[in-house]
A and B are shown apart, each in its own frame.
Chain A
Amino acid sequence: MSKPANHLPPRASFERGGAKRVMVDRRSVLAGMASLAALPAGRAMAEAREIVLVNWGGDAIGYFGEAFAEPYEAEHGVDVVIDGSGPSQGKIRNMVESGAVTWDVCDSGGGSSIQLGSGGYLREVDYSVVDRDRLLPGMDFRWGVANYMYSFVLAYDTRAFGGDGAPRGWADFFNVRDFPGTRALLKDVLANLEVALMGAGIPRDEVYPITPAKEKLAWETIRAILPDTVFAGTGAEIQQLMRNRDIVMGCFWNTRVKAIHEETGGLWDWTWNQGVVVPGAWVVPKGNPAGDAVWPFIASMQSPERQVRLFTLFGNAPANPQAAALVPPALKRFNATDPENYARQLPIDSAWYGENYARINKDYIDTISM
C-alpha cells in the first residue's frame, strides 16, 4: 500500500525515453503482480520453520506471546508469530477453500471446531502428542483442543443492587419487576439459550438435552424482557455499557467483567452462580504451512505454568485442571475453572452447538431483532 509497484530506480527510468520506458515499466509491473500472486505459496515454503498462531488481536497478541510463544521459541528454536486478525469461521473456511492457507494454530471454539471440522476445513487433532489428561472432561474435541476456558456470567452494578439485593441467578436477570433497569445480552446465541432456560426456572442439571420445547421456552423468556434489553456485539461495547451505566446488569464474558470490576474498584461485580463455561479451542486448518509441527506446540501450551501465566495476564481460565492449584490465592475468585467456581457453573455442550449453531443462532437473531 505504502510503496508503488515500480521497481525501476529513478535514474534508470530517466535515462530511458519514450515508448521503451513504457515497455520496461509495464514488464516490471507485470513481474511485480506475478510475485504477488505467488506470495502465499512462496511464504509457506520459506517459513516451514515458523508457526503462525492466530488470535483475536488487541492485548491478547502480547499476552499470548509472553505466555506461549516466547517460551516455545526459546526451547525449540521455532519462530512463533502471533497474528491478531481474528480467525472467524468464515475466514478459516475461505482460506482453506482458496487453497492459500497461511495460518497454523487458530484460537477458535469447541462448537466452531465441530462445525468447521465436519465441513472438512480442519485437521484432526493428534492425541498421541496432545495430552487428553491435561484437559477437563469433554474438552478434547476431534478437531480441536480446549486452550482456555471462559464463562458467561451475570454481572451487575452494585450501585443498583447492593448487598442482599444483588441478583443471584438468571431467574433474577429475567425478572424485570423486582430487578428494574436495562440489561444486556450478547448478539450471539452461544450460552444465551442456556441462560434463558435457567432464567425460566429450569435447574442447571436439566438444561440438557435441548429439545424443541426448550428452545421455544428460551425464546419466549427472552422475548418477555426485550423492551428492557440491549444487545452488544463486541467486548468494547460491553465495557462501554458497564462504564457508562447504560445498563444495570448483563450476561458477559467473565474476562471483560473482571476488567470493569478492577477499573471501577468493585462497583461492578458478578456471580459464578449458573455461569455457562465455554472452551476456547485450538484448531488447525487443513493444509497449514507448518504441518505436524503444530502438535508439539499445542502440547506445550497445555503446561499448567504457561496457562496460569496467561490467566494472570489476561483472565482466560486454564483448560488444564492441574493448573488451578498454581493460581495465586488472591486471584482464585477470578478463575472460571477453579474447582469451587466450576462446580457452580454449567459447562456448555459444544457438540450440540457444533450441530445446531447455524440454525439456533438464526432463531436467536430473529427473536432479538424487533
Chain B
Amino acid sequence: MTVSRFAVSPRRIRRPDAYWLLVAPALVLIAAFYLLPLLGILQLSVREFDGEGEASVLGNYALLFSDAGIQRMLWRTVRVCAITTVLTVGFGYVLAYAMVTVGTRQRAVLLSAVLLTFWLSVLIRAFAWTILLGTGGPAETVVNALVRPFVALGAVDAPVRLIRTEAGVVIGMVHAMLPYAVLPLFANMRGIDRGLVLAARGLGATRWGAFRRVWMPLSMPGVIAALILIFVFSLGFYVTPALLGGGKVVMVAEYVRISLEQTLRWGLAAMLASTMLIATLALALLMGRVVDVRTMAGAK
C-alpha cells in the first residue's frame, strides 16, 4: 500500500501541466468566441442608452428601477419560471423515483418516454400543445368538465380557457422542461444506496418515515440542482411563451428579440441579457454554497 502510494504521487505532481496543455485550445476558443462577445454585450449595455431622458453610463440599468413596463415583464418572467420550476421538479421527482423503484422493463419504457420528448423539437411540442389546449380541444373539455361544480358556485369563470393564457404557457414549459429534471434526478437517485432505506425500515421506521428521513435528504442535492437548472433554462424560454401565450405573456427572451430586431434598442436588449446573465451567475454561486457542485457533476 505504502509503496504504491509513493509510486503514484510524483506523477500526480506532473500531471496538471499536461492537462493544461490539452485544455488550452478549448480555453482559447471559449475566450475568443464566447467571453469576448459577452464582454461586447456588457459594454453595449452601458454604452448605448435607449430610454428617454438624460443619457448616463448606467441609464439602461436605471430602467430596471424606473420603468413599470419592464418591471412587470421581469416579474412575469420570474413568476412563470418559478411556477414552471416547482411543478417540473415535483413531477420529475415522482417520475425519477418511479424509475429507480420499478423493474428493468418498466424503467426502459419510462426512460424512453422521457427521452422521446427530450429529442423532439421544442417548436413541434409547442405546436402540439396549441392543438391539445386549443378552443374546444381535449384538454379544455376535460378541465371544463372538472371545474363545472365550481362554476356553479361562482368561484370560477366559465368556460376556462387554456390556450393563449399564462396557464397554457406553464403547461407547455413544464412539458418541455421535464426531461431536464428527470434525468439528473434519476442519476442522483440511482446513486443512493437503497439498503439504507431497508435498514431504516428494519430499525422500525414506517414506509413514509424511511422515505422522509433517509431517502429525501439523500436526494436533496439532485432536487436543488434540478431546481436551479430548470429555473435558469426557463428564463431563456422563447418559443413556448410566444406560441402558447397568445402574445399576452411576453417574457424576457421575446422582449430582447423585439428590442434587437424591431425597435433597435440594442442597449436595452444588452442590459436585459446582462441582467439575466448576472442573475444566472448569482444562482450558480448560490448552488455552489448549498450543494457540492463537484459531487453533482460527478467529479468526485
Interface residues of A (CB under 8 A from B): 88-91, 93, 115-116, 119, 182, 187-188, 226, 230-233, 244, 246, 357-359, 361-363, 365-366, 368-370
CA distance A231 to B164 in the complex (A): 9
Show 27 A/B contacts (Cβ-Cβ < 8 Å), sorted by A. Answer: A88-B261, A89-B262, A89-B263, A90-B264, A90-B266, A91-B261, A116-B264, A182-B135, A226-B248, A230-B246, A230-B247, A230-B248, A231-B246, A232-B247, A233-B242, A244-B134, A244-B135, A246-B134, A358-B50, A362-B263, A365-B258, A368-B247, A368-B248, A369-B73, A370-B76, A370-B166, A370-B248
A-facing residues in B136-180 (Cβ within 8 Å):
163-164, 166
Which residues of B lie under 8 Å from residue A230 when comparing CB positions? 164, 246-248
Extra pairs beyond A358-B264, A365-B258, A368-B247 (13, CB < 8 Å): A90-B261, A91-B261, A182-B135, A231-B248, A232-B247, A246-B134, A357-B263, A358-B265, A362-B265, A363-B69, A369-B249, A370-B248, A370-B249
| A119 engages B248 (CB within 8 Å) | no
Cβ-defined contact, B263 with A358, below 8 A? yes
Given A231-B247, A359-B52, the answer on whether A365 and B261 have CB atoms closer than 8 Å is: no
**Contact status A365-B52, CB under 8 Å:** no
Q: Distance (Å) between the CB of B148 and the closest chain A CB?
A: 21
With beta carbons under 8 angstroms apart, the residue of A115, A226, A244, A366 that contacts B69 is: A366
Q: Find out whether the CB atom of B247 lies under 8 angstroms from the CB atom of A90.
A: no
The binding surface of chain A is classed by DSSP as helix
CB distance from A114 to the nearest CB of B (A): 12
Whole-angstrom distance between the Cβ of A356 and the nearest chain B Cβ: 11
CA distance A366 to B71 in the complex (A): 10
A88 to B259, CA, bound (A): 12
Quick one: given A366-B73, A369-B76, are A93 and B264 in contact (CB under 8 Å)?
Answer: yes
| B72 within 8 Å of A (CB atoms) | yes
Write the nearest CB–CB distance from A36 to chain B, whole angstroms: 14
Q: Which of B239-269 contact A (CB under 8 A)?
A: 242, 246-250, 255, 258, 260-266
Q: Are B247 and A362 in contact (CB under 8 A)?
A: no
Whole-angstrom CA separation of A362 from B272 in the bound complex:
14
The answer on a CB contact under 8 Å between B69 and A362 is yes
Instruction: Choose one: B50, B72, B249; the contact of A366 (CB below 8 Å).
Output: B72
Cβ contact within 8 Å between A365 and B248: no
* A69, chain B: closest CB distance, angstroms: 26
With CB as the reference atom, state the residue of chain B lying closest to A186.
Answer: B247
Query: Contacts A244-B134, A370-B76, A370-B248 hold; do A365 and B264 have CB atoms under 8 A apart?
Result: no
Across the interface, which residues of A come within 8 angstroms of B249, CB to CB?
A: 369-370
Chain B binding surface SS class: loop
Within 8 A of A (CB), among B193-217: none
A361 touches B248 (CB 8 A): no
> Which residues of A are found within 8 Å of B248, using beta-carbon distances?
226, 230-231, 368-370
- With known contacts A366-B72, A370-B76, A361–B247 Cβ distance under 8 A: no
Query: In the complex, which residue of chain A has the Cβ closest to the Cβ of B50?
Result: A358
Contact residues in A for B76 (Cβ distance below 8 Å):
369-370
For chain B residues 111-151, which have a beta carbon within 8 Å of chain A? 134-135
- Shortest beta-carbon distance from A122 to chain B in Å: 13
| A361 touches which of B52, B72, B166, B258 (Cβ 8 Å) | B258
- Can you name the residue of chain B whose Cβ is closest to the Cβ of A187? B247
Give the shortest distance, in Å, between A248 (CB) and chain B (any CB): 11
Residues of B within 8 A of A370 (CB): 76, 166, 248-249
Bound Cα distance from A91 to B260, whole angstroms: 9
**B264→A115 contact, CB < 8 A:** yes
Residues of B within 8 A of A362 (CB): 69, 263, 265
Interface contact B265-A369, CB-CB below 8 Å: no
In angstroms, Cα B51 to Cα A358, docked, is: 9
**Contact B247–A233 (Cβ < 8 Å):** yes
Could you say which residues of chain B place their CB within 8 Å of the CB of A90? 260-262, 264, 266
Interface hub of B68, B166, B261 (most chain A Cβ within 10 A): B261
Q: Which residue of A lies closest to B137 (CB)?
A: A244
A171 to B264 Cα, complex, angstroms: 33
**Cross-chain contact B164 with A188 (CB below 8 angstroms):** no
The distance from the CB of B59 to the nearest CB of chain A, in whole angstroms, is 15
- Most chain B CB within 10 A, of A115, A188, A358, is at A358
Interfacial residues of chain B within 30-53, with CB under 8 A of chain A in the complex: 50, 52
CA distance A88 to B76 in the complex (A): 27
Are the CB atoms of B135 and A365 closer together than 8 Å?
no
- Cα distance, A230 to B164, chains bound together (Å): 7
Contact A246 B135 (CB under 8 A): yes
Contacts of A233 in B (CB 8 A): 242, 247
Minimum-distance CB pairs A-B, first 4: A231-B247, A366-B69, A369-B250, A90-B261
**Shortest distance in angstroms between B101's beta carbon and chain A's nearest beta carbon?**
41
Given contacts A232-B247, A369-B248, contact A361 B263 (CB under 8 A): yes
Give the nearest-CB partner of A92 in chain B. B264
Q: Taking CB as reference atom, which chain A residue is nearest B166?
A: A370
Cβ contact of A119, chosen from B73, B242, B260, B264, cutoff 8 A: B264
Per the bound structure, the CA–CA distance linking A115 and B134 in Å amounts to: 38
